[in-house]
């Protein structure tokens, strides 16, 4: 196992798999630097360093564990953070830094009202700590303003992201409905086309049957006309269904989100990149089968669908937090492998904390296959 695999495993342990923030939680740890602000004012010694370093050692696992909580269960992580402020303040007046993290989790309570109630509770607790320990005014102002600004900004930006996500979902739904309407239109066109064509072929075939004894030459001409009508109809049918048989990736991704969420699975789907149509068709068919497997077998509560470019290849990753059982591959995964192999692609499946399916499609191979 190389260093990269080791770091990925550590990251899967520390960060929640469905977190849209990526590695931002690591960057947020920079706020811990405020714990050492008293050093600029002459503080130091064992009575400062030992409690401060011990509190950081306790805080880090508490912080990463709290990242996985939501709703009112967040109190299990934020209340200890505020308690750490009260315990460390006699030794380090910048201990109110931990309240910044407690306030930053305000959006995780599920609604603006609940988040603001939590934020108000943090501010009240900080005020009580200030009053009890009679902290210098600069520390009190910093301890009030920073949690307030961080908490309010997080609540605001989270609500903005929710609104934007709803707008994107509605746009994807419009595209899906447009694709569905187009397929229905093609179906109606096929019905009208085949209905007329078959009627003509039936009449000419009946005429040829009656003429086959009395006028063989005329019967042969009628059968030739039947053949021409049939060839022309076949060409028109192939042209009509060429756009219907191959699913579009954008429509399939939007459909996947709706199907997952209607099954009680939280879905996070990347924006569809500018992928060549042939590659998108292959990915769309693989995505449909992958989502079906997640719904039927994974018992997952979250699923993430990602797209990225790696050189001349396109990658699609479908990851869930289900049971991750390493059972034998079924017909679904086998079918996906065969479909990808037909265009020079490949499929890898990793079981662990859930299941991660990675499909690789070389663009050039998909275009040649198309």
The domain limits of the chain are: 3-168, 173-245, 249-369
The answer to whether the 173-245 and 249-369 domains have the same CATH topology is no
What values do phi and psi take at 267, rounded to 5?
Answer: -115, 135
pLDDT the model gives residue 55? 93
Q: How many residues does the chain have?
A: 370
The position carrying tokens 């990851």 is 319
Q: For position 199, what pLDDT does the model report?
A: 72
DSSP-based three-state secondary structure for 45: coil
CA distance to 14, 183, 185, 222, 246, per residue, from 194 (Å):
60, 16, 14, 19, 21
- Distance of CA 334 to CAs 55, 296, 322, Å? 51, 16, 20
Task: Confirm or reject CATH 1.20.5.1930 for domain 173-245, answering yes or no.
Answer: yes
Could you list the mean pLDDT of each consecutive 10-residue stretch along the chain, which spans 370 residues? 68 68 80 86 83 93 89 91 91 88 89 90 90 81 85 86 74 71 69 68 80 82 79 70 60 81 83 80 86 84 90 90 66 81 87 88 61
Q: Cα–Cα–Cα angle for 152, 66, 294, nearest 5°?
A: 105
Predicted local distance difference test score (pLDDT) of residue 253: 85
**Residues 220, 243: contact at Cβ < 8 Å?**
no
Give me 252's structure tokens: 């399939």
User: Which tokens is 350 given?
Assistant: 């990793």
**pTM listed for this prediction:** 0.49
Cβ(118)–Cβ(85) below 8 Å: no
DSSP state at residue 322:
S
Paired tokens of 83: 């308690």
Q: What is the pLDDT of residue 53?
A: 93
| CA distances for 35 relative to 25, 82, 133, 288, angstroms | 18, 14, 17, 50
Q: For residue 89, give the 3-state DSSP assignment.
A: coil
Select from 3.30.565.10, 3.30.230.10, 3.90.1200.10, 3.30.450.20 the CATH code of 249-369.
3.30.565.10
Q: How far is CA 248 from CA 82, 179, 254, 287, 308, in A?
A: 50, 8, 10, 11, 17
Give 251-310 as a DSSP string.
Answer: HHHHHHHHHHHHTT-EEEEPPP----HHHHHHHHHHHHHHHHHIIIII--SEEEEEEEEE
């Amino acid at each position: 196992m190389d260093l990269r695999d080791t770091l990925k495993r550590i990251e899967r342990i520390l960060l929640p798999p469905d977190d849209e923030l990526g590695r931002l939680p690591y960057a947020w740890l920079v706020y811990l630097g405020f714990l050492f602000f008293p050093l600029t004012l002459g503080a130091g010694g064992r009575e400062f360093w030992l409690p401060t370093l011990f509190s950081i050692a306790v805080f880090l696992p508490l912080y990463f564990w709290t990242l996985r909580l939501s709703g009112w269960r967040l109190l299990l992580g934020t209340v200890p953070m505020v308690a750490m402020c009260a315990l460390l303040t006699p030794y380090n007046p910048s201990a109110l830094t931990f309240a910044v993290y407690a306030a930053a989790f305000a959006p995780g309570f599920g609604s603006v009202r609940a988040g603001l109630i939590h934020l108000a509770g943090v501010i009240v607790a900080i005020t009580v700590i200030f009053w009890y320990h009679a902290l210098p005014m600069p520390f009190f102002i910093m301890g009030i303003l920073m949690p307030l600004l961080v908490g309010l900004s997080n609540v605001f930006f989270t609500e903005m992201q929710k609104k934007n996500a709803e707008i994107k979902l509605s746009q994807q739904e419009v595209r899906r409905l447009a694709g569905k309407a187009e397929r229905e239109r093609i179906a109606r066109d096929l019905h009208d086309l085949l209905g007329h064509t078959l009627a003509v072929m039936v009449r000419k075939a009946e005429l040829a049957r009656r003429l086959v004894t009395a006028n063989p030459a005329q019967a042969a001409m009628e059968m030739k006309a039947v053949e021409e009508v049939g060839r022309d109809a076949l060409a028109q049918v192939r042209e009509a269904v060429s756009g219907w048989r191959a699913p579009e990736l954008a429509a399939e991704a939007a459909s996947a989100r709706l199907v997952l969420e209607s099954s009680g699975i939280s879905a996070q789907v990347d924006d569809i990149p500018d992928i060549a149509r042939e590659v998108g068709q292959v990915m769309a068919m693989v995505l449909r089968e992958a989502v079906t497997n997640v719904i039927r077998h994974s018992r997952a509560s979250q699923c993430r669908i990602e797209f990225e470019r790696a050189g001349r290849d396109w990658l699609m990753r479908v990851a869930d937090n289900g049971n991750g059982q390493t059972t034998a591959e079924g017909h679904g995964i086998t079918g996906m492998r065969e479909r990808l192999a037909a265009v020079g692609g490949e499929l890898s499946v990793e079981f662990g904390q859930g299941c991660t399916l990675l499909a690789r499609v070389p663009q050039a191979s998909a275009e040649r296959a198309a």
